[in-house]
Structure 1
Amino acid sequence: MARKKIGKQTVKLQQPPSIVSTASTVGPKEGKGPLSHYFDIILTDDLYGENSWELAESKMLRETIRAAIQRADKNIVDIEYLLSGDLLNQLMAASFAARDLDIPFFGLYGACSTMSESLSLGAMLIDGGYANHVAAATSSHFSSAERQFRFPLELGNQRPLTAQWTVTGAGAAILAARGDGPYISHVTTGKVIDLGIKDANNMGAAMAPAAANTMVAHFEDTGFMPEDYDLIATGDLGAIGKEIAEEIVFDKGYNISKVFNDCGLLIFDNRVQDTHAGGSGCGCSASVFCGYIYKEMMEGRLNKVLLISTGALLSSTSALQGQSIPCIAHAVTITNILKH
């Protein structure tokens, strides 16, 4: 009997795990954005001393996980599972990082939804009694993602105004069976939504329906209303996707305008930094959550947050074959105050 299941897509955790530490790393461009003082490590070199962008991303992820473990006052041997993913073929960044960490590893691919996916599954592992300490982590890198999904950097292609800038960043969170919060209390798992958009340079519009679908499902399953949250943060819809998602949710009877923002809009100053529609990538919601949102919750300026990381499940193969873009969004409720 699924006694923890509520509604169609949500589980209410009986023993909500605590997020006992986080760490965040970003690249030079992200370090010049409005959230710069929230990030733990700001790289001065996108290559991070490595010979390729891909190896730089893996190193960034690995060192961010290590920093989160150290901040939790734990050792690597204390972490029972690592749940992590990225955008690269066969999860190269996460797999190569896991190779050096010697932690039992679940590789996850949810595209840019992977941070919420890893938090969701990590929380379920702990609440289910399968672990006491779990690491949830995600990364992306502008240069590695560009040449896998779009064009070689050397071409210098002009991007349309609907395009977003893949965040060079990583975030890691340590979840524990015991702790003083913030806690993950609810998990709403998304469905794959595809409304036929094929333009890989308009990811916000492609992902917005999935974000809205998960958000509405969360409200219907839990009975929560937008005003119950201090912040509802999507992962990387950018300016265009945020507007679309807000309209869809409003048409379903929920006004989220007062508490709704997007990590892709928070991490960059679009006008000054020329990021067009905003930020994107696995590292977008990962670094913004593990940097900005978590620290604001620790200070009590935010007490209840709905994090909805959003992902476009296209590949370089599907794009070349002219396929549309399937999308997904996963949501976690993170709260400082548990009501029994």
Structure 2
Amino acid sequence: MAEKKLGKQTVNFAQGPYVIGSAAVGGEKEGEGPLKSWFDLILDDDTFGEKTWEKAESKILKETMLLALQKSGKDKKDIDLVLSGDLLNQIMSSSFMARDLHLPFLGLYGACSTMTESLLLGSMLTDGGFAHNIIVGASSHFCTAERQFRMPVEHGNQRPPSAQWTATAAGSMLVSDQMVDLSKIGSVDDKQKIVNPRNIQVDCGTIGKVIDAGVKDANQMGSAMAPAAVDTILNHLEDTGRTIDYYDLVLTGDLGYIGKDIATDLLIDAGLDANAVKERYDDCGTMLYYREEQDVHGGGSGCGCSASVFCGNIINRMRKGELNKVLLVSTGAMLSTLSPFQGESIPGIAHGVVLETC
């Protein structure tokens, strides 16, 4: 039996699991960005026909789950478990989504690292033989996050240049212990029709540690999370014995422009090849929007940022063979609505998951 533990923080999956379906849904602003053609659904109205933003976010998450299920060729009765989380109090978007789907559910909270946390745990459960098919996902909504963590949207407060824009988006994947006939897996739309799509296997995952850089400004999320992302990447490379150029792409979750620059410098300072870092490293928060035209200041953030970028753009580029080995490291700022008022700093965490075509 292949060794399932690599080094101190990494788990290995020798026989799968496989990503057999994925879906991404974006809001109005996300649908105006550079990745608009990769979304399965773009909302015409960020309320999504609901009376509140919170209900809209839960509906968005449910829609991505159902789309991922549909595109996998599986039926709801085939699903053993749903793993999901979000940013709202008591992960209410995920909990109400699970109420509607009426499937076994484990709610997760890793702030904006929740997408990789759910994918990592879902892969461990299928690899361990505890489940055959699991739906994993995460969501966020600009208006719900603003109301909870900062100011009511109606307040119209001035956002500093370092502030990031919480994505109104969600992403979901169906993780299975068996491959499927890829001809059953749909594409995003006719423009992204995939010929001879490739299977995608979850190769391994690195569980992150909480790292606190002492940042206390809630408008400096990238600065707060960057050290955690770097710590996970470095430990992943040490555990696996790989170098960064093993990957076609190393992608952090939502550090944004400021955090990406900090992470780049820290990785190079740690001894990684500067050219390889600059060539292969990117961040979902810098990919989701047009920086100047959309006035997102520090870039994108939120659970839905890395979830939608990965489940839409990256997974489909892997299906097409444009990318073969990807390390996704979603990042999370582990603050609460109370902790800043109690003088606490903002700890960060990052979990890494490797996906490879096969």
TM-score range, shorter chain: over 0.9
**Other structure's SS at 1:297 match:** helix
Whether 2:186 is the aligned partner of 1:165: answer no
Tell me what 1:286 maps to: 307
How many residues are paired up?
337
Q: In structure 2, how many angstroms separate the alpha carbons of the residues matched to 1:325 and 1:303?
A: 34
Tell me what 2:188 maps to: none
Which of 211, 235, 240 aligns to 2:258? It is 240
**Other structure's SS at 2:338 match:** helix
Q: In structure 2, how many angstroms separate the alpha carbons of the residues matched to 1:181 and 1:116?
A: 19
The CA RMSD measured in Å over matched residues stands at: 1.1
Tell me what 2:223 maps to: 205
**Other structure's SS at 2:69 match:** helix
Tell me what 1:93 maps to: 93
Q: In structure 2, how many angstroms separate the alpha carbons of the residues matched to 1:62 and 1:205?
A: 32
Gaps of 5+ in 2: 180-197
Q: How many Å apart are 1:152 and its aligned residue?
A: 0.5
Gaps of 5+ in 1: none
Tell me what 2:155 maps to: 155
Whether 2:31 is the aligned partner of 1:31: answer yes
Q: In structure 1, how many angstroms separate the alpha carbons of the residues matched to 2:208 and 2:31?
A: 31
Q: In structure 2, how many angstroms separate the alpha carbons of the residues matched to 1:315 and 1:26?
A: 25
C-alpha distance after superposition, 1:165-192 (max 9, x if no partner): 0000000000111116211111000000
**Other structure's SS at 1:244 match:** helix
Which of 229, 233, 237 aligns to 1:215? It is 233
Tell me what 2:186 maps to: none
Q: How many Å apart are 1:118 and its aligned residue?
A: 0.4
Q: How many Å apart are 1:205 and its aligned residue?
A: 0.3
Q: How many Å apart are 1:42 and its aligned residue?
A: 0.1
Q: In structure 1, how many angstroms separate the alpha carbons of the residues matched to 2:263 and 2:282?
A: 11
TM-score between the two structures when normalised by the length of structure 2: 0.93
Q: How many Å apart are 1:14 and its aligned residue?
A: 2.1
Counterpart mapping for 1:1-340 below 5 A: 3-179=3-179, 181-255=199-273, 256-337=277-358
Identity of paired residues, percent?
55
Contact residue 2 and residue 14 of structure 2 kept, 8 A: no
Q: In structure 2, how many angstroms separate the alpha carbons of the residues matched to 1:37 and 1:204?
A: 26
Q: In structure 1, how many angstroms separate the alpha carbons of the residues matched to 2:109 and 2:77?
A: 25
Aligned partner letter, 1:274: D
**Other structure's SS at 1:48 match:** coil
Q: How many Å apart are 1:63 and its aligned residue?
A: 1.2
**Other structure's SS at 1:136 match:** strand
4+ long deviations beyond 3 Å? none
**Other structure's SS at 1:319 match:** helix
